[in-house]
Structure 1
Amino acid sequence: MTQDSTAPGGSPKPSKAEALKVASGYLKSFVADEIRNGSSHLSEDAAGLLKFHGSYQQDDRDLRKQLSREKKEKAYQFMVRVRMVGGVMTAGQYLACDELARTVGNQTLRITTRQEFQLHGVLKQDLPTTIRTINETLLSTLAACGDVERNVLCCPAPVKDAVRDQLMEDARRWASHAAPRSSAYWEIWLDGEKIESLPPAGPSLVPTAGDDPVEPLLGKTYLPRKFKTAFAFPEDNCTDIHANDLGYLAVVEGGRIVGYNVLVGGGLGTTPSAQKTFPMLAVPLCYVPRDRFLEIGEAVLKVFRDFGNRSDRKRARLKYVIHDWGLPAFRAKVEEYLGRTLDDPKPIEVADVDDHLGWREQGDGKLYLGLPVENGRIKDDGSFRLLCGLRAFFKKYGTPARLTCQQSILLADLDPAWKPEIEDWLEEYGIASVERISTVRRWAMACVALPTCGLAVTESERAMPSFLDELEGELDRIGLGDERLTVRMTGCPNGCARPYNADIGLVGRSAQVGPDGRPGPGKYTIFLGGRTLGDRLNVPFKDYVPYDRLVPELMGVFERFKDDRRPGESFGEFCGRVGNAALGGEVIAEEAAEA
């Protein structure tokens, strides 16, 4: 603790973000004052609070240097994130988002790794109309960003059975229960008209001394940092439950969910220059019967609210509370809040993951079709016309859809008689089905990074396709083209594409600037040793690897894997067993090793 971060009396001094939340009056001031003032952008304070309303202020970083030379202001724009619990949407909601992308956005929609849409390129003058339109469809942007419970993840497969219905019902109940309750959002964007996109929130189930009359769960200063929750089945960890602060792993008996193993403390963001930060996977805390799952979630949330680090935002996630206290002390505090003893977790762990792609049966006589969307970007690009193709699909068929945590889209409620014409539709618009892409591309993900993300130091989304072109060719050459493994690339260490539990994680390390002043692909840290199940962290293999050297560095490891793997061993498991030193890895500098 540095001296200037300590308040009089020796207690930690709250960060500037904490003071700003207090001054906002439950998220209203600053944003309300500036949103219609005619400026192209918001002040730093207002932009910080805008996140709670579901939007980030950004600028086009490709143009920064040019505009600076011309002594012009940055090309300000906004990213608007659309909250969709479990990725569920109607055809009308999809079409509304599509229209916004074309009229106020940058002609694309982006599927996030948290089952949401992001609109990019929105100008400040269009924010009020954009957010109001989203709410009129019974979707919302509230709490899609900020120090709150983020979009709640749930298996999106539209299979008609009791346990999947129960899982989605519980995800929606938790999302509603943990949502902000201040009226500021509706007052700023909807003229005070409260449009409900979730069931009404019930009363606090775990009353504590720290409860606020307006925000009984989140508090007047909301949470120390973001909080993420996922629901999953042991046989299908498609929501990557271990990467979340709070996870509900369903325990199924007799064809119904009887309870949950509750996992806590997941979070993958890190800062390589700060050894005090690191990725961590969620660990089992307890078992809870289904009828009490809300109160255990509330207790965990409130312990984080009351004891999370509010002076150092780099260490403000729940994982650091658990790491610093130890799980037994954290469990004891949760029990104190609940006023009862917790049951030990059941002997159940994740065993597989399904990406839900291809043609699948729903169980009610209908089909659904899972379509891969490279890096989640729905766009038109030459003969590939996914944006206008999906618009035509939803206008014609009017069926619902769901988004996955692997940045794909599932088209639901399809009559089997439609299959031939839907296959023709894919051909007409140049849309690749899962059978027409490589296995490595099927399981790959990348974050947005440049040019819009203000934190990115390297390319990611724009660099991933050509990287995969090279990698899939090399894997085919040595006979590993059908090997299932996860490759995830991010433009910075924050881990938005979950690189730290992948078989291969590629994390932006340092920038590269071209002769025109524009940023190039850059250099990356290669991480090896996770796996598709998402239940093990990888470790640094090589650091500061130039983009054009990534595939050559990896192929030496793949050659060893091909020759020395054990029966049934995945690539990540092999790397973890053999170890980096034996695979030709290097000793990573201390500042990177903690990542």
Structure 2
Amino acid sequence: MGPAAPYTNRPDYAAAQKAALDLADLLTPQSGAYYDVWLDGEKFMSAYKEDPAVTEARAFNGFGTNFENSPEPIYGAQFLPRKFKIATTVPGDNSVDLFTQDLGVVVIMDETGQQVKGYNLYVGGGQGRSHRDADTFPRLADPLGFVAKDDLLHAAKAVVCVQRDYGRRDNRKQARTRHLLAEWGIDKFRSVAEQYFGKTFQSAAPLPAWQYKDYLGWGEQGDGKLFYGVYVQNGRIKGEAKKALRAVIEKFNLPVVLTPHQNLILRDVEPAAKEEVTALLRAGGVKELVEWDGLDRLSMACPALPLCGLAVTEAERALPDVNVRIRAMLMRAGLPASQPLHVRMTGCPNGCVRPYVAELALVGDGPNSYQLWLGGGPAQTRLAQTYAERVKVKDLEATLEPLFAAWAAHRQPGEAFGDWAARQGFDTVRQQAAAAAAAAARQAPPAAAAAAAASGAK
């Protein structure tokens, strides 16, 4: 996965997107039946040719990475123990949730900003877990090091080969790269990867602070044309809005980019067509960005019930109403209507919308019941922790409202919710939330106070 940035005048983004394509080509299984569509023995579709450098890197076997005379030179007969996720980006842009990936790649440009100097690599991130199973856990990727621009494909191949040869195959739940990193540590992993790489990883290049970017709304691509990032609530398009999007895309022949946060970016819009595009989408019920609450814009939910066989509760269908309740709680806590908060909701613990890096995550653990995770950062660079178990959706106010009141009372100027929770630590957070709940009970009418006291005792 590469960044969805729609800019045509940014060599760094172009390099990140090309790196994503090249890595996908490098690691695509070579067995034709796996990915080609055939009709009557004849190849049905073939238009894309990979970069010759990719072909060369796949065939190179100077350090024991390949299975000789195998149709799958990298994977052999066994393939990888389990899935392997890769994301590429540029410094400062964490729209791809870089630290949740098995392999993260950051493009480093030279002093001119026009040529690629090399890449910072990160390994061992992941999200999936099982409730009350300490052997499964989310993890952030560790910095592996820096490689020169011509070494990216060989370095990525080396990392994949380490997981191929040493990843757990006896336990499916522990067959991801993060478990190997957790067992070995980054130093041992780096040492073994260097054996396949044939070189030493250099120290990672310094980077600016990470930010979450979504590229929503209207903007200039850099070539005289416009892009329009369309917010799609929890990734679900339906009804008249779906028809309107299709009509606009077909009428103006617009390329479409899918973002890592379930949204759409319409590309190559002529400035003269902006008003018509806007009018057609509005007529179909596609709301403009300013009409959405910032909570919705920053939130994600997985499909969950009724579409996912692993789900134990709701997510996609429930989060819009939950966000309305959260916004009301924030307002009652005295926080502004514009206060951002990253919320993610899943119907099970497998982590499909990467909830464990959110500021506030609701992770399904039973019918209408959720684990509450707090402390991820607004740029998704810190791991959240479990704050509460089995919180019923009908009881969210009793749990969250004191938390928001404590945040409002004790945060530093402008401090985000996740940053506040991580800085304070959960023991202090619980104390401050309990104090806020008690204060609210004292100020409430008698009947409400009794109800609040009963809830607190429970």
Report the TM-score range of the alignment, normalised by the length of the smaller protein: 0.7 to 0.9
Rounded to whole Å, the distance in 2 between the matches of 1:560 and 1:441 is 23
Letter in 2 for 1:370: G
1:166 aligns with 2:15: yes
Q: Report what 1:344 is aligned to.
A: 203
Match of 2:161 among 302, 308, 321: 302
1:5-20 matches, within 5 Å, as none
- Asked if the contact 2:341/2:417 (under 8 Å) is kept, the reply is yes
The amino acid of 1:165's aligned partner reads: A
Could you tell me which residue of structure 2 aligns to residue 156 of structure 1? 4
**In 2: Cα distance, 1:179 partner to 1:393 partner:** 33
Letter in 2 for 1:233: V
The question of whether the paired residues in 1 share the 8 Å contact of 2:357 and 2:381 is answered with yes
Which whole-Å CA distance do the structure 2 matches of 1:386 and 1:220 have between them?
46
Aligned-partner Cα distance in 2 for 1:425–1:473:
32
Query: AA paired with 1:326?
Result: G
Structure 1 partner of 2:216: 357
Q: Which residue of the other structure, out of 445, 452, 471, is the alignment partner of 2:307?
A: 452
Q: Decide whether the 8 Å contact of 2:37 with 2:45 is kept in 1.
A: no
Residue equivalent to 2:72: 215
Partner of 1:572: 418
Distance 1:471 1:568, change over 3 A: closer
Contact residue 210 and residue 306 of structure 1 kept, 8 A: no
Mapped contact 2:257–2:267 kept (Cα < 8 A): yes
The verdict on how the C-alpha distance between 1:508 and 1:227 changes in structure 2, with shifts beyond 3 A counting, is: same
Q: Which of these residues, 377, 380, 386, is aligned with residue 531 of structure 1?
A: 377
SS at match of 2:426: coil
TM-score (norm 1): 0.68
Q: Is the 8 A contact 2:232 2:264 kept in 1?
A: yes
- Counterpart position of 1:199: 49
Paired residue for 2:393? 547
- Alignment partner of 1:413 is 2:268: yes
Q: 1:188 to 1:159 in 2, by over 3 A?
A: closer
The CA deviation at 1:275 is: 1.2
Mapped to 2, the partners of 1:357 and 1:186 lie a distance apart of: 33
CA–CA separation in structure 2 for the residues paired with 1:205 and 1:272: 42
Give the structure 2 partner of residue 182 of structure 1. 31
Distance in 2 of aligned mates of 1:237 and 1:215: 33
Q: Aligned partners of 1:546, 1:370: CA distance in 2, in Å? A: 35
> Cα 1:492–1:189, aligned 2, differ >3 Å: closer, same or farther?
farther
The 5 Å alignment of 1:274-353 reads: 274-348=133-207, 350-353=209-212
**Code of the aligned partner of 1:286:** G
Contact 1:219 1:305 in 2 (8 A): no
| Unmatched runs of 5 consecutive residues or more in structure 2 | 434-458
| 2:344 aligned partner | 488
Secondary structure of residue in 1 paired with 2:430: coil
Query: Shift of the alpha carbon at 1:350?
Result: 4.5
Structure 1 residues 273 and 564: CA distance shift in structure 2, 3 A:
closer
From the superposition, tell whether residues 187 and 268 of structure 1 become closer, same or farther in structure 2 (CA, over 3 Å). Answer: closer
Give secondary structure in 1 for the equivalent of 2:129: coil
TM-superposed deviation, 1:269? 0.6
More helix by share: 2
In structure 2, relative to structure 1, the CA distance for the partners of 1:363 and 1:447 (3 Å cut) is same
Q: In the TM superposition, what is the alpha-carbon distance from 1:292 to its structure 2 partner?
A: 1.0
Give 1:91's aligned residue: none
Q: Distance in 1 between matches of 2:46 and 2:276?
A: 37
> Contact (CA 8 Å) 2:30, 2:71: kept in 1 or not?
yes
Evaluate the alpha carbon distance shift between residue 273 and residue 421 of structure 1 in structure 2; reply closer, same or farther with a 3 A threshold: same
Q: Displacement of 1:582 after TM fit?
A: 2.3
| Mapped partners of 2:349, 2:278: distance in 1 | 40
Q: Partner residue of 1:509?
A: 365
Query: Against the structure 1 CA distance between its residues 305 and 319, is the aligned structure 2 distance closer, same or farther, given a 3 Å change threshold?
Result: same
Q: What is the one-letter code of the residue matched to 1:205?
A: F
Deviation digits for residues 221-247 of structure 1 (CA, Å, limit 9, x no counterpart): 110010000001222110010010000
Q: Distance in 2 between matches of 1:362 and 1:413?
A: 8
**1:325-376 deviation per Cα after TM superposition (whole angstroms, max 9, x unaligned):** 1111111101111222221211225521211111111111111111110000
Using the aligned pairs only, state the percent identity.
Answer: 38
Deviation at 1:286, TM superposition (A): 0.8
